Amino acid sequence: MKENGKDTPVEEKQTLKGDSAVEERPADEEPPQTEPTEPQERKNDKRSKILHRTVYFLVLNLGVFLLSFGVYMFEVPNNFAMGGVGGISIVVAPYLSKLVPWLTQPVILGILNALLLVIGLIFLGKSMTIKTLYCTAMYSFEVWLFSYIHPMNAPLTNQPLLELVYAVVIMGSGSALIYNCRASSGGSDIIALIVKKYTGLHIGSAVLASDMLIACLSFLFGPEIGLYSILGLFVKTFVIDGVIDNITKTKYVTIITSNPDMVSELILKYINRGFTSYDAKGGYTGEHKTVIITVCKRSQAMRLKMKLHEVDPASFVIITNANEILGKGFSERL
């Protein structure tokens, strides 16, 4: 470059690195922030799915274990027939085993479950039937395993009411966990799910409707056993509905705030939920506020409440129970 007829050197703004020129970055400039790449997002989604499936598998097997344990340790020794193919097998096993020695209660249980699985495949579909098949196989195997490890020829105690309470609580909790995983233990549970599907009854009411006849058969063992069995069936339906309601319980959260941007960001990023907002005005102060409503799980509501106390202590928060929610992010109530 020439200036006033003289050559003036041009100031270099690039440095060489290898064979290419790279623009220098000022020393005090921070490196640019990069957004998560698509492969990273897919990797996070994959981890989340693996975690979800692991928890699902563990909960499902816990439900099967509790049901098998309650049936073998408390229901079978006392001849309680609180419905289900377990109840049928308890009623007919003493008679059939005299004619065919190998037709024990676990064997009869497996045969009846196999027959009802075919019915489930027709009315409930392939996905439900596959999960039910797994639960049925594990249920029958675990009952047999308990009988092999610890044979029982008599009840644990001479207190039938005490054993009825344990049977109802343990079996009801196990059945609720299985139902909540969109599966069943087979047998009359398949009938209950079919009744629920076509009538809209809660699962506990459907269980009561399908198992009442089986419970009445327990009068063959005497009026005392029959009365205990019917009482246990009624209580078990409440335990099933109660456990499912507590597992799936959701909260309806209303937040009245002067910092809507901060609260909105908290809901979106901290508990990963959506929300609806609208403008409002205080009836006493006349101040303009924003009302934000969201629906979330109970654990998320507790986290949100604690965080709001930290970042926006002046906000007014109302948390109520939501009995039933249908929509994206929430599963249909059983």
Instruction: Give residue for tokens 């029959």.
Output: 226
pLDDT digits (tens, 9 = 90+) for 190-221: 888 888 778 777 777 777 777 787 778 778 77
pTM of the model: 0.67
Q: Token pair for residue 286?
A: 């006349």
Given a cut of 60, whether residue 255 has pLDDT beyond it is: yes
- Spell out the alpha helix ranges (H) of the chain: 38-70, 84-99, 105-124, 126-149, 160-180, 188-199, 203-216, 223-248, 260-265, 298-311
The tokens of 322 are what? Answer: 């939501």
Residue 191 neighbours by CB under 8 Å, 6+ apart = 116, 119, 210
Structure tokens at 255: 């937040």
Lowest-confidence segment of 94-108, 239-253, 318-332 by average pLDDT: 318-332
| CA–CA dist 308, 167 (Å, integer) | 43
CATH 3.30.70.120 domain range(s) in the chain: 250-322
CA distance 163 to 156: 8
Q: Please give the angle made by the CA atoms of 263, 329 and 135, to the nearest 5 degrees.
A: 140
Q: Domain 250-322's class?
A: alpha beta
pLDDT at 15 over 70: no
pLDDT tens for 120-153 read 888 887 888 888 889 888 988 898 899 889 888 8
**Quick one: pLDDT at residue 93?**
78
CA atoms within 13 A on the CB side of 215: 20
